[in-house]
Amino acid sequence: MTTPSPSPGALAGIKVLDLSRVLAGPWCTQLLADLGADVVKVERPGAGDDTRHWGPPFLKDADGNDTRQAAYYTACNRNKRSVTIDMATPEGQALIRQMAQQADVVVENFKVGGLKQYGLDHESLRTLNPRLIYCSITGFGQDGPYAERAGYDLMVQAMTGLMDITGRADGEPGGGPQRVGVAVIDLFTGLYASNAILAALHVRDNAATGTGQGQHIDMALLDVGMAVLANQAAGYLATGVAPVRQGNTHPSLAPYQDFPTLDGSMLLAIGNDGQFQRFCAAAGQGAWAQDPRFATNTLRVQHRADLIPAMQAVTRTRTTADWIALLEDKAVPCGPINTVAQAFDDAQVKARGLAVTLPRWPQGEAADGVQHITGVASPLRLSATPPVLRNAPPALGQHTQEVLRELGLDAQRIAQLQAQGVV
């Protein structure tokens, strides 16, 4: 029987010119690449994306020794082709403009106006390719009093109030504002940007209503940071009362937090009265479900100070594994609080194939000795056009000659550009 060839991906045929670096832009373009788009990443000759050097941790060579390649870069650059072009040179600018003429999408995250001096801004490229969808990712957007400021994830977490509602209350041990454990604003911005790009492609190409024209997408970390405040922002806008830090508890649900166990801790996420009643029955505390202080979620939130200590005294009597075994068949959301290592060792994570090892490039050609890279699989599961993880994150400039040949340059011209330091 012949094994069917893998799907080319939902975005097969879409060409993306990636002028972004670090995280928000590359996260966006990796998602497009996973879905089948041909993403060409332009990097600085000799240096590349900043995150190639953001270590430790570093990738290991075949002997288990640290290389000079940071692991950070691999999180958001698989399935791409890397070319090195010095956009500060006229020749480099001309190459990028030529690439933009053949592209469907450009993604960049330079400061506002930063690419205009090179003739690579939206207005300049739109005249060459009216179908081009040009996505700009900045800290604060294309207008407003902060438009020209540089923006970073941590800064935006602080400015939007996200840090102020993350962490334990001031009066508790370890109290004070905390950043989220990953650069969540960058990641959300990449996701929002990819959604906007897909919408713009649909508007351009839809058979019934398509315009045939590209457009400019203005993505700002600040805007995204405010948007992902979600229910916390909705609560403030409805009442005028700013939310406060409350550790792992939930402002609108109880019990919905971590609890101590005999050998550590666990997470209970009880979201309705039925779940609470089933928990009480399983824990041998049926009286709690009948207590007028705890009969509804709203009452449990109001009487949290009475309920939680009583529950903590009971949860300490069993191990985490015992609690999970007791509750998992009773539709009571309960689980361990894993380390990252424990998470990757989890049976469900393994069953879903969420750690994927990809070959770097042909064995023996890896100058840094890294032949395979393991990363997290795409969480998108499309039945007909699933993401195809084709290639590991590329070496710096790995595809420069290949891409330049596609532009029509011969070997002599490529060698000349290399001698001049343009590529």
CATH code assigned at 359: 3.40.50.10540
Instruction: Please tell me the pTM assigned to this model.
Output: 0.93
**Phi, psi for 35 (deg, rounded to 5):** -85, 5
| Contacts with 330 (C-beta within 8 Å, 6 or more apart), sequence order | 278, 279, 281, 282
The DSSP letter of residue 119 is: T
Same domain, yes or no: 188 and 263? no
Same domain, yes or no: 274 and 171? no
Looking at residue 37, what is its pLDDT? 98
Q: Is the peptide bond before 333 cis (omega within 30 degrees of 0)?
A: no
- Catalytic status, residue 63: no
pLDDT tens string 164-208: 999 999 888 899 999 999 999 999 999 999 999 999 999 999 988
Compute how many other C-beta atoms are within 10 angstroms of the C-beta atom of residue 4.
Answer: 6
Number of structural domains, the chain? 2
Task: Give me the residues of the chain with pLDDT under 50, please.
Answer: 1-5, 363-366
Domain boundary among 283, 305, 339: 339
Same domain, yes or no: 210 and 143? yes
The CA distances from residue 220 to 31, 166, 415, in Å, are: 18, 22, 39
Alpha helix positions (H), 208-285? 221-227, 230-239, 273-282
Same domain, yes or no: 167 and 299? no
Same domain, yes or no: 81 and 162? yes
Q: Is residue 367 part of a domain?
A: yes
Q: Is residue 371 part of a domain?
A: yes
Same domain, yes or no: 73 and 200? yes
Looking at residue 369, what is its pLDDT? 72
Q: Is residue 234 part of a domain?
A: no
Site of tokens 């090892």: 357
Domain boundary among 281, 313, 339: 339
Q: Is residue 201 part of a domain?
A: yes
Q: What's the Rg (C-alpha) of the chain?
A: 26
Instruction: Tell me the residue range of the domain where 126 lies.
Output: 15-228+352-419
Q: Is residue 10 part of a domain?
A: no
Of the candidates 121, 186, 258, 368, the residue annotated as catalytic is 186
Same domain, yes or no: 289 and 391? no
Q: Is the peptide bond before 379 cis (omega within 30 degrees of 0)?
A: no
pLDDT tens string 372-401: 899 999 999 999 999 988 899 999 999 999
Q: What CATH number should be reported for the domain holding residue 296?
A: 3.30.1540.10
Looking at residue 361, what is its pLDDT? 65
Q: Is residue 4 part of a domain?
A: no
Same domain, yes or no: 315 and 188? no
pLDDT tens string 350-374: 999 999 999 876 544 445 678 789 9
Same domain, yes or no: 104 and 136? yes
Q: Is residue 246 part of a domain?
A: no
Looking at residue 367, what is its pLDDT? 56
Same domain, yes or no: 146 and 212? yes
Q: Is residue 9 exposed (0-12), middle (13-18) or buried (19+ Cβ within 10 Å)?
A: buried
Looking at residue 56, what is its pLDDT? 95
Q: Is residue 357 exposed (0-12), middle (13-18) or buried (19+ Cβ within 10 Å)?
A: exposed
Same domain, yes or no: 91 and 159? yes
Q: Is residue 197 part of a domain?
A: yes
Domain boundary among 339, 372, 402: 339
Contact predicate 18/39, CB 8 Å: yes
Same domain, yes or no: 215 and 266? no
